[in-house]
Structure 1
Amino acid sequence: MPALPATTAASTGVVDPVATGPATLLALTAGSVPLADSLAWIAIGAFVVAMVLKWRGAVGPARYLAAGAWVVFGLFWLTMVPHYYLEVKSPIETLLALAALPLCAYTSYLLVRGRESLLLLSNAVAFMGLIYLPVETVPVVRTWLIETTASQTHFGMELLGHSPGLTEGNNGYVSKFAFDPDETVTGRTTYIITACTGIGSMAIFGGLIAAVKAPLKRKTVAFALAIGVIWFLNLVRNVFIGLASPWGWFQQDVLVSVVTEFMGAPADRTSYIVAHNFIAQSLSIVALLGITYLVVRILPEVLEPLEEVLYILTGTEYDLADALGKAERPADSSAATASDAASDTGRSAAPDVTDPDIDPESASGSEPNDD
């Protein structure tokens, strides 16, 4: 949830966003469109075209176009570093954004060198973007998603005995939890933004599931499971941050000292930063690993793009299916499907083949619940 400007803090209390989204990036713009958004659309557009070229059999052009898309994608994440470091104050997101450019550049290099199997991972990123970007950039969709998430989060608070009501947040949506600043410990409250909706995590799994070749029934079951678990855990997260911030659950002296001296944040923002940036984000990584395991049990085909991620990170080939005791494909996967999947990865026995809720509105009153 994002922070309200200082001019409104006196009457409404300090507000923090529950999630951070890439929609706004300081003052960098390309025309009237934020630079980050422009780079994201260019990268995803190139990934989609590369996917179409691959489907039409133009593997060479697809590899080179996807290679260029990866470089642009890395630049997108680089532009997000100031936002995550200066505004969100999230060490985890800052480090991931910094690491993205060299990793994306290496992926581009591998594609140029002929590693066709990376086209499957590129397809997954294309689908991820097609799921996420419309939500981020189409106002009516964004409004519905944010306000629905805020309403559901408020219901969760009511189950725990808190009913602050909802009012308009600094982002213009009815997504701010209207705690009375005179009755809470910190005088702060939070509001929901796009990243608080869980759409980012949903896009990741949706992209992976959409990109692989497998029977539609299993893909549908895996998608429903992933989305359902993400939705539930995201609401739990929002409720946790939304209550921890105003009621000062983490206002202990040692934590206040860390936040004020090492992060330069106001003392009354400590509970929000600890709940959101440290506890929630760390547990989100654990949750994503758990969801991945559940999805793999239903749809082991998603191991293929994950193996490519591990190769990029380590330079070593992995057989995750064998490691997880799933060396054989499910019975409903035909030999043709297995053959097609092998073709998609571009792997060959030939020895000479070379083989990722706070609006950047300043912290003076309310913060978004960040992912």
Structure 2
Amino acid sequence: MPPLSAGTDTVSVVGLEYAGATTLTPAILESIQTTDMLAWISIAAFFVALVLRWQGALEPARYLATGAWVAFGSFWVTMVPYYYYEVQSPLQTVLALAALPLCAYTGYLLWGGRDSLFVLTKAIAFMGLIYLPAEMIPVVRTWLIETTAAQTHYGMELLGHSPGLVEGSNGYRSKFDFDPNETVTGRTTYIILACTGIGSMAIFGGLIAAVKAPLKRKATAFALAIGVIWFLNLVRNVFIGLASPWGWFQQDWLVSFMTTYMGAEANRVSFLVSHNYIAQSLSVVALVGITYLVVKIVPEALKPLEDVLFILTGNEYDLFDALADDHVRADGGSDRDR
């Protein structure tokens, strides 16, 4: 979603959302409907395939899951124009482009008999089950966005900034009301669903839910992952929310580079650098760290991760030996217990 024009409600988006300042033309509405349809179809197909497998219909389950993976990859491809033109995020654009061939290859492997991929399929299905209600149910979406905005504002207050919260162009009370005449760039940000951390929470929730392990360990891992994601996401929002209006990255050389080679607006450079480059890069590091914490508690989650590595590299990996320094077994025990 692009920022609103200067002089009215100059806003950069901390994330991605379909509505807001963008004019909802018939073409955009059709794109949104296609994207939503692919999301629902792929998640529903994943669940049906899992039910078929549970009932013993293995071949139909494979075929349906293969189609679901292709639909899931197609969903991400429809997001490419938003990531490239609106969000101007190289990382998200590349990942969205890579999604279709990777998902199609996953379906191909599943079709060919790699049945261990049903666990990864189950993980994706549960991720969708967690994320889609937050996206589609207005009361849930509103609560997540406005609660995150209030918590981010509190974090800003701890650092000596109290801009206040007002309703943004996305219709939620989530815009940080900095005075454009007092800030360096004249810009501000507002919180959308992507800023709540629900996407990352859904990833780990789905991964943990998909594997077989004692409920107590799964609940512990889930609580740890959610807590860490919530805290790091809050830090991220505060960082971007202050960097954008106060121009922390408005150095002349950086502005020149971004405007000349990246097509950025000059007064939007601090937002793009803090959001698209620094925060997103650190998010990848954070996800790796959280994954390590989760698999220390639920080592069963290593199995679908091994399949992910096989999809990416074509090589088989034994993450149990590579990551568990005390040789934790899939049942949660240890070689030292023998």
TM-score by length of 2: 0.93
- Give 1:55 deviation, angstroms: 2.0
Residue equivalent to 1:250: 249
Are 2:152 and 2:238, in contact at CA under 8 Å, matched by a contact in 1? yes
Distance 1:315 1:121 in 2: 16
Are 2:2 and 2:87, in contact at CA under 8 Å, matched by a contact in 1? no
Residue equivalent to 2:33: 34
Aligned pairs for 1:137-152 (under 5 A) are 137-152=136-151
Aligned pairs for 1:326-337 (under 5 A) are 327-329=327-329
Distance 2:203 2:188 in 1: 29
> Bigger CA drift: 316-325 or 145-154?
316-325
1:10 equivalent in alignment to 2:11: no
One-letter amino acid of the counterpart of residue 70, structure 1:
W
Residue equivalent to 2:336: none
- Give 1:322 deviation, angstroms: 1.1
Distance 1:181 1:306 in 2: 46
Residue equivalent to 2:94: 95
Are 2:127 and 2:206, in contact at CA under 8 Å, matched by a contact in 1? yes
Q: Unaligned regions of 5+ residues in structure 1, if any?
A: 334-371
Superimposed CA distance per residue, residues 165-208 of structure 1 (whole angstroms, 9 cap, x where no aligned partner): 00011111000000000000000000000000000000000000
- Give 1:5 deviation, angstroms: 2.4
Aligned pairs for 1:1-371 (under 5 A) are 3-6=2-5, 9-12=6-9, 14-21=10-17, 27-30=27-30, 34-325=33-324, 327-329=327-329
Distance 2:95 2:288 in 1: 16
Are 1:3 and 1:190, in contact at CA under 8 Å, matched by a contact in 2? no
- Give 1:320 deviation, angstroms: 0.3
- Give 1:331 deviation, angstroms: 5.9
One-letter amino acid of the counterpart of residue 229, structure 1:
V
- Give 1:328 deviation, angstroms: 4.2
CA gap of 1:115–1:90, structure 2 versus 1, over 3 A, is same
Superimposed CA distance per residue, residues 145-180 of structure 1 (whole angstroms, 9 cap, x where no aligned partner): 000000000000000000000001111100000000
Secondary structure in 1 matching 2:162: coil
CA gap of 1:277–1:49, structure 2 versus 1, over 3 A, is same
Distance 2:273 2:195 in 1: 16
Distance 2:331 2:310 in 1: 28
TM-score by length of 1: 0.85
- Give 1:134 deviation, angstroms: 0.9
Secondary structure in 1 matching 2:161: coil
One-letter amino acid of the counterpart of residue 41, structure 1:
W
Are 1:28 and 1:35, in contact at CA under 8 Å, matched by a contact in 2? no
- Give 1:213 deviation, angstroms: 0.2
Secondary structure in 1 matching 2:114: coil
CA gap of 1:235–1:262, structure 2 versus 1, over 3 A, is same
Q: Unaligned regions of 5+ residues in structure 2, if any?
A: 334-338
Distance 1:11 1:182 in 2: 12
CA gap of 1:292–1:315, structure 2 versus 1, over 3 A, is same
CA gap of 1:208–1:187, structure 2 versus 1, over 3 A, is same
Superimposed CA distance per residue, residues 241-284 of structure 1 (whole angstroms, 9 cap, x where no aligned partner): 00000000000011101221112121000000000000000000
Are 1:67 and 1:108, in contact at CA under 8 Å, matched by a contact in 2? yes
Are 1:74 and 1:105, in contact at CA under 8 Å, matched by a contact in 2? yes
Secondary structure in 1 matching 2:7: helix
Superimposed CA distance per residue, residues 267-310 of structure 1 (whole angstroms, 9 cap, x where no aligned partner): 00000000000000000000000000000110101101100100
Are 2:106 and 2:311, in contact at CA under 8 Å, matched by a contact in 1? yes
Distance 1:65 1:202 in 2: 27
- Aligned-residue sequence identity (percent) comes to 71
Superimposed CA distance per residue, residues 6-46 of structure 1 (whole angstroms, 9 cap, x where no aligned partner): 2xx3144x211111247899834459x62111101100010
Are 1:16 and 1:272, in contact at CA under 8 Å, matched by a contact in 2? yes
One-letter amino acid of the counterpart of residue 202, structure 2:
A
Are 1:4 and 1:170, in contact at CA under 8 Å, matched by a contact in 2? no
Distance 1:236 1:111 in 2: 39
Distance 1:218 1:80 in 2: 35
The alignment's C-alpha RMSD in Å is 1.8
Are 2:310 and 2:316, in contact at CA under 8 Å, matched by a contact in 1? yes
